[in-house]
Amino acid sequence: MTLALTPQNAHTASVRAFKAPGASIADAALLERFNIAGPRYTSYPTADRFVEAFGPQDLQAAYAQRRAIPGLANRPVSIYLHVPFCEALCYYCACNKIITKHKERAAPYLADVAREIDVVMQQLAPTEGAASTAVASVSQLHLGGGSPTFLSDAELADLMALLRRSFVFAEPAELSIEVDPRTVTPARLQHLRSLGFNRLSFGVQDFDAAVQQAVHREQSTGQVFALVQAARQLQFESINVDLIYGLPGQSQASFAQTLQTLVALQPDRVALYAYAHLPTRFKPQRRIDSQQLPSGAEKVALQALALRSMHEAGYVDIGMDHFALPTDSLAVAKRKGLLHRNFQGYSTQPETDLIGLGVSSISKIGATYSQNAKDLESYRAALDQGQLPVVRGLALSRDDLIRREAIMALMCQGVLEVPAFAQQWLLDFSSYFAPELVQLQDYAAQGLVELSEQRIAVTPKGWTFVRAIAMVFDRYLQEAQRRAQFSKIL
């Protein structure tokens, strides 16, 4: 299907006239050089560092500290709620999911989530005699999966009603949901809007029919266009589309057509992920014919093609693999130096505690990370005992906190202000990070960062490799063998 590049919304003209700031096309040699394995840094330390010694009591202690510290008890929180069910298996998927066509499985799961919310609310409730009796407001809610749209309209309505009864939602709050285009209609989108959702993320992955067939995720281009048009008419504030490069059957010619279609669709945001083929870790990927996968060089060429297309279409390079139109709140936040990053990726929200609900979800409370049980049986068993369903986590050390701040400054703002950082953490920066500064000299020679006594700044060309730059500050990656646990960064 060939589509004319027809404007999809009112701000097309201004977007086309806009030249993306801070964007530079990296050459193929650099892309090949940094085609290495590494974490995505939705957190630091990364989730592979979580330990089973961290359990429900440790998370309770973190909540208790939150309640005890003045000003923290009523500080806004973010909520992530994991819906694990999917009707069909996508072969590339590495998410925690349950494949089933039995819609009746959702009801008992939602009942379990309700029980978890009750346990969490006990932890959030102000202690007797506390200065504040206010319960924290929710500034951000994200429903992910799996496929949240596996739930029926009635179940989604009941779930949102439960959340609103339990938590106080800020005005305005960011309410987002991941959408499988195969499971929704314009009428369903209208229902989501009526429930208060103001942001959508469509999982498209590729517009090419042959590639879709190879990964068992088939949806028509016309269907996606109709849904995005409906979402615009319903005035969703931001619409994201996920694409993946490196899938079986992709070629430069086919992916160029997919990118042309994407530009015609013109979503507010684009998440451009590299496919990581790890069949020994993720069973569904064993169904992919590895002979059909692009070679390393071809994958690098696909990424270069995508970067060029995004920049030429006026998208702002937010960092790593995310792009946004200059009018989108992510791009505005980046220009203002207000960009943040959490377990959902880049965010406009200030750093907040994150409450994870449902199987496998991750919470960040104070200086701790914790993850819920990954299977329904263990999750339910913990709730049967009235416990938080935590099975592993981590209490961050001072060094973890220091390095997290350095990594997030580079990932989000692209700048680490050395004197302010040193003063904040009461350290001698050049001594504390002596090995890292030596490593960064090579990055500076490649034109990826600019180094001075005052700052470390990611260059326009360096944004493509910001993940590799951040890895320099990762103490755990100094053991080179650990890199094999991660997907490649490009």
Amino acid residing at 344: Q
Alpha-carbon span 59 to 388, nearest angstrom: 8
Annotated binding site for S-adenosyl-L-methionine: 80, 92-94, 145, 178, 205, 217, 242, 276, 362
Distance from C-alpha of 78 to C-alpha of 350, rounded to nearest angstrom: 10
Tokens representing 206 are: 């590729």
Q: Annotated binding site, which residues?
A: 80, 86, 90, 92-94, 145, 178, 205, 217, 242, 276, 362
For the chain, give me the number of helices (H) and strands (E)? Answer: 17, 19
Question: Is there a contact between 39 and 473 (Cβ–Cβ < 8 Å)?
Answer: no
Binding residue ranges for [4Fe-4S] cluster: 86, 90, 93
Q: What is the DSSP letter of 479?
A: S
Say how many Å lie between the first and final Cα of the chain, rounded.
29
- What distance in Å separates the CA atoms of residue 131 and residue 147, rounded to the nearest whole number? 41
User: Based on the number of CB atoms within 10 Å of its own CB, is 109 exposed (0-12), middle (13-18) or buried (19 or more)?
Assistant: buried
| Angle at which helices 186-194 and 153-166 cross, to 10° | 20
What DSSP assignment string belongs to 313-352?
A: TT-EEEETTEEE-TTSHHHHHHHHT--EEETTEEESSPS-
Specify the amino acid at residue 267.
P
DSSP code, position 148: G
Distance CA 141, CA 265 (A): 26
CA 138, 270, 15, 262: dihedral to nearest 10 degrees? -140
